[in-house]
Structure 1
């Protein structure tokens, strides 16, 4: 299956699409006004220590204080020793070098760690640990042993005081390439250390690479055929970077000069638009309904217009199998993380359930984010998790509706009319007014004049005061004012 990376450079925005088999699988967005923070290193100041939570709030210069837990300060020990208390490690006012583990999400601040990790193309340098590891995504035992042996030798010879981890991209890399990576990481860590020594608290010490260059480190695999960039200057910079740090990728990078916008290729723009909607149509006629909340994401599978040609069980199985593949793609495309609950159409057959689970797990195998799928629950639900390290596509590109505040619902016109009646009664007790003026949306005023006219007349008679109505074009359906006259 062919794989391409498309890079769209705008005046204040960079977008990257990973396209596999002619369909977008991942979308990455970086805006000048809203850079992702994961991987950034800051010099912070401890604002508050919380012994009961074994955590601390750290000021690093962001809108919200960040969160640091004791588990992200002390390396795990093989013998499971008890971790020290947070009060033994931190005190208020202390300056500390921290790295962002997770971007701020919703109302939550960034998640931090003091166990810094500095990534390069093949390796990750661990300045505060001394072990050697190999990515779990490298499954071949012979290759794992080869890499571990090379890293053991390089660590003892070049960085005995630090630790090293081989990234997935290190699979097949020779010893010279790995040695060059270690030398680069040492230079980078020295530069970070020197800058941290003189940096003021609350400042950025080291930021991750720009998105257009980071993709060469994070997305580029052996199956990527080409990287197309639609900006000549950025293409030149990315090629220079690749020649220095990812030489095997340099020949794959090319300037896109086609007449159509680069994201119109393979319908990437259409995929983005569809990824922002709740409903996802399936080719069979069924559909998914995806709802993202702060606590979890729920996915409902429906047969829709698909009725099948044989039995109900066959129809349900076919729809669920197609849905499993579509769900795996949507999770990557929308970058949905955390807890995910999937409500497949009910299946009585255990064999059918097993087929659906296997299909979902196979489809998730290509996902770069770590996932864990659990068996069907007694209620027929599939629970799974997907590692969340950055905001979802919806949170980056959208904001809550100003009318419904993100709930997806607004009060009916009739409900608002009754609220207006109650507000008039409340105002009559509070103010010595000669009458009342009601300002509301045009459709609400129309309802009061037509269907609620008798109730309004009864209220005027009971209060012995006139009530005037005035439509306001700027008012939303739920907005109204009762003004004493």
Structure 2
């Protein structure tokens, strides 16, 4: 039994979970602070061209400028005008023109990078995707294969779209008639006409079209005919849901919608709060006694498999094979539900038999067919590493719920106090022995006050014997968390003095200091 649960009682956050026979198979979270803008369409301004990247930076109304590669510009006249202006005329005058451009977000911005933009607009529906800027392009989802693909090819020519537009049939389009497909495409054509009008009427930078909220987005991507129930704990969003199903002329799902009105919270009743909490854990235990660990960076995820207490098998090879097989199932589940993308490296337990490696890889290929994302798998190396790349369909789930630790800055380790103090004074020595430096300022956590006074006075005195005319000033701040610190060597440079003053104000040192 497949159930979709929509939890929107709290104003701050909306959560949608899909259970398939009591197993959590999809989770989507959106809160007021980190609202997603993927598929939103904006009227932007070209503000910069980076020749080394062959890309433009677009101001589209948010803090970070978006990234638009040249290959993502569909309008060839605009492309050549821009190219000629940049190569043969004054670049500064070009950017003063403030050229407007219609762009769509295809990858959301991260902490370090702006959003990835395109001018090839796509308007996704449940059964199809309309592409207004793709001339006469008719496509079929790569997930549709064999006889089904041939069947769609036979009737795709009966779908009518304007000459300057294209479309793609999604996997759900297999289950509906040509009339239903044509209805959805006609709705998207009307939407495109509205978008063009909005583009002309608003000032840039600004939002032209906002993609539907998390509920409607999830309906488009995850609501299939095998969904038995849609359970909602907030009656206020019912109108929006009804309006959507009437808009797409599909009222068959309305009978499956139910309002949840029990005293126990919706997710607690279905016992999935603990399952959600486990999604953010680094270490996941397996039933056999083994475990996997997941460590993610910006573009790479490393997954390690460990047999640990897995002792029920007869040989080392059996233990390795069976633990790896169990781990692969769990890894695929975790990758999919956490929305992990980029390069993924799995460190398997070493297996000697080639046949076992083939069985494991074939199992992984079968699992991949159930994923909407594009995935490529490499061979298992002689070191037992399996590399794969996965398309990032949306932002990693963890980004919206966690922030970087202000103590370790994401390293996961803290230095002991003795080493912390030694590293500071070695850096102080390096600064103070510079010829142009007359004063060294140190800003450290307030908790280290006693340690500085008791343990390191001799260390400072030894430095002062050599550099008698130079000052060492230690500031103690409540706002700096251990083991973070700042060291500034002051010289005649006024900029450094101003930076130091700003830092002292920011971290509110309360005039707590020691001067040597």
TM-score of the two chains, using structure 2 as the length reference: 0.82
Structure 2 counterparts to residues 65-464 of structure 1, below 5 A: 65-74=65-74, 87=83, 92=95, 93-129=98-134, 130-141=136-147, 143-155=148-160, 158-245=161-248, 246-422=250-426, 440=445, 442=447, 445=450, 449=454, 453=455, 456-457=457-458, 460=461, 463=464
Structure 1 residues 428 and 128, CA gap change in structure 2 (3 angstroms): closer
Q: Distance in 1 between matches of 2:102 and 2:425?
A: 59
Q: Distance in 1 between matches of 2:55 and 2:273?
A: 42
**Which stretch has the larger CA shift, 370-379 or 292-301?**
370-379
Say whether the 8 Å CA contact 1:276–1:394 is kept in structure 2: yes
Instruction: Please give the per-residue CA displacement for 1:104-152, whole angstroms capped at 9, x wherever unaligned.
Output: 12311111111111122212111111111111112242x3344334332
Q: Distance in 1 between matches of 2:473 and 2:44?
A: 59
Say whether the 8 Å CA contact 1:65–1:109 is kept in structure 2: yes
**Which stretch has the larger CA shift, 356-365 or 386-395?**
356-365
What is the Cα deviation at residue 238 of structure 1? 1.0
Instruction: Give the 3-state SS of the residue equivalent to 1:383 in structure 2.
Output: strand
Q: Distance in 1 between matches of 2:351 and 2:453?
A: 50
What is the Cα deviation at residue 462 of structure 1? 7.5
Structure 1 residues 424 and 87, CA gap change in structure 2 (3 angstroms): closer
Structure 1 residues 286 and 445, CA gap change in structure 2 (3 angstroms): farther
Instruction: Give the 3-state SS of the residue equivalent to 2:358 in structure 1.
Output: helix
Say whether the 8 Å CA contact 1:216–1:249 is kept in structure 2: no
Structure 1 residues 308 and 447, CA gap change in structure 2 (3 angstroms): farther
Aligned counterpart, 2:53: 53
Q: Distance in 2 between matches of 1:274 and 1:39?
A: 30
Instruction: Please give the per-residue CA displacement for 1:440-473, whole angstroms capped at 9, x wherever unaligned.
Output: 5547846974xxx5x64475477579x9999987
What is the Cα deviation at residue 221 of structure 1? 1.6
What is the Cα deviation at residue 86 of structure 1? 6.8
Q: Distance in 2 between matches of 1:388 and 1:89?
A: 35
Instruction: Give the 3-state SS of the residue equivalent to 2:299 in structure 1.
Output: coil
Q: Distance in 2 between matches of 1:445 and 1:178?
A: 73
What is the Cα deviation at residue 18 of structure 1? 2.0
**Which stretch has the larger CA shift, 271-280 or 359-368?**
359-368
Supply the RMSD in Å over aligned alpha carbons.
3.2
Aligned counterpart, 2:496: none
Q: Distance in 2 between matches of 1:438 and 1:176?
A: 70
The question of 1:478 aligning with 2:483 is answered yes
Instruction: Give the 3-state SS of the residue equivalent to 1:224 in structure 2.
Output: coil
Aligned counterpart, 1:80: none
**Which stretch has the larger CA shift, 310-319 or 25-34?**
25-34
Q: Distance in 1 between matches of 2:439 and 2:320?
A: 66
Structure 1 residues 44 and 308, CA gap change in structure 2 (3 angstroms): same
Structure 1 residues 343 and 88, CA gap change in structure 2 (3 angstroms): farther
Instruction: Please give the per-residue CA displacement for 1:388-432, whole angstroms capped at 9, x wherever unaligned.
Output: 132101111111001111121222212112135446767988779
**Which stretch has the larger CA shift, 13-22 or 146-155?**
146-155
TM-score of the two chains, using structure 1 as the length reference: 0.87
What is the Cα deviation at residue 203 of structure 1? 0.6
Instruction: Give the 3-state SS of the residue equivalent to 2:229 in structure 1.
Output: strand
Instruction: Give the 3-state SS of the residue equivalent to 1:267 in structure 2.
Output: coil
Q: Distance in 2 between matches of 1:68 and 1:314?
A: 51
Say whether the 8 Å CA contact 1:427–1:484 is kept in structure 2: no
Aligned counterpart, 2:2: 3
Give the aligned length.
Answer: 468
Say whether the 8 Å CA contact 1:413–1:447 is kept in structure 2: no
Q: Distance in 2 between matches of 1:437 and 1:169?
A: 62
- Listed as ranges, the gaps of 5+ residues in structure 2 are 87-93, 487-512
Structure 1 residues 369 and 484, CA gap change in structure 2 (3 angstroms): same
Structure 1 residues 264 and 173, CA gap change in structure 2 (3 angstroms): same
